[in-house]
Amino acid sequence: LQKVSEWTIHRLSTYHRLLSEFESEGREYISSHELAHRAGATPAQVRRDLSCFGTFGTKGRGYFVADLSSMITSILGIDRDWRVALVGAGRLGSALFSYKEFRRRNFHIVAVFDSDKSKIGKHWADVEIEHPDALKAVVSKHQVDIGVIAVPSDTAQSVANAMVDAGIKAILNFAHRKLFVPDGVALRNVNMAMELEALSYAMSRNRRLR
């Protein structure tokens, strides 16, 4: 079993989405060249990415769309439901709660937490907002797999600690702060402010170059 880079995984996500499109277009076979073109990658990269997990193609023909799609589904582990706990019931949390792309991929938010007393007890759809103190109990009761952090930066690390303590093994962090978690806990960050700063840098530089 070799090491697979996180970029490969991101590209697999992309290939997977494109394969769905090809499937609904009725395409049977797809070449690495065409897949790469639509994915913004190179043919060699597509083949290399896939080769990490086995040999799925037919020489001279390409990849059978339906098979490849279901192989990637299985590799990514999205051939099952995942239960998600959301901490932070502000506007961002609300947007995440109703983000259709999540449910479409079988990620189900089964619990919502917020320390704001005016929010506790309210319902979002059929989920009641609870105090974060209940995290550990709720996580084991609902067998939560993934924790989503949508709280202000200054409390993000303590929320992450509580999630780890509750046995959560995967965290998606929206706070603008680097989080530290033990080995064995998967952590991904979505940092919108950082992306804006990257754009700001690019624009400042372009201006300077002209």
For residue 139 the two structure tokens come to 């996580």
- Cβ distance to DNA smaller for residue 54 or 80: 54
Shortest approach of a copy of itself to residue 77 CB, angstroms? 3
Q: How far apart are CA 12 and CA 54, in angstroms?
A: 13
User: Taking CB within 5 to 8 Å according to partner kind, which of a copy of itself, DNA, none is near residue 95?
Assistant: a copy of itself
What stretch of H or E contains 48? Answer: helix 43-51
| Helix axes of 32-39 and 6-24: crossing angle, nearest 10 degrees | 110
- Cβ distance to DNA smaller for residue 59 or 207: 59
Q: How far apart are CA 180 and CA 166, in angstroms?
A: 16
Q: How far apart are CA 44 and CA 77, in angstroms?
A: 24
- Cβ distance to a copy of itself smaller for residue 137 or 202: 202
Shortest approach of a copy of itself to residue 28 CB, angstroms? 23
Shortest approach of a copy of itself to residue 14 CB, angstroms? 6
User: Taking CB within 5 to 8 Å according to partner kind, which of DNA, a copy of itself, none is near residue 168?
Assistant: none
- Please provide the distance, in angstroms rounded to a whole number, between the alpha carbons at the two ends of the chain: 49
- Cβ distance to a copy of itself smaller for residue 58 or 140: 140
| Listed residue (54, 56, 33) closest to 45, CA to CA | 33
* Residues at the interface with DNA (CB under 7 A): 3, 5, 7-8, 31-33, 41-45, 47-48, 50-51, 55-63
Contact 71, 56 (CB under 8 A): yes
User: Taking CB within 5 to 8 Å according to partner kind, which of DNA, a copy of itself, none is near residue 32?
Assistant: DNA
Shortest approach of a copy of itself to residue 58 CB, angstroms? 25
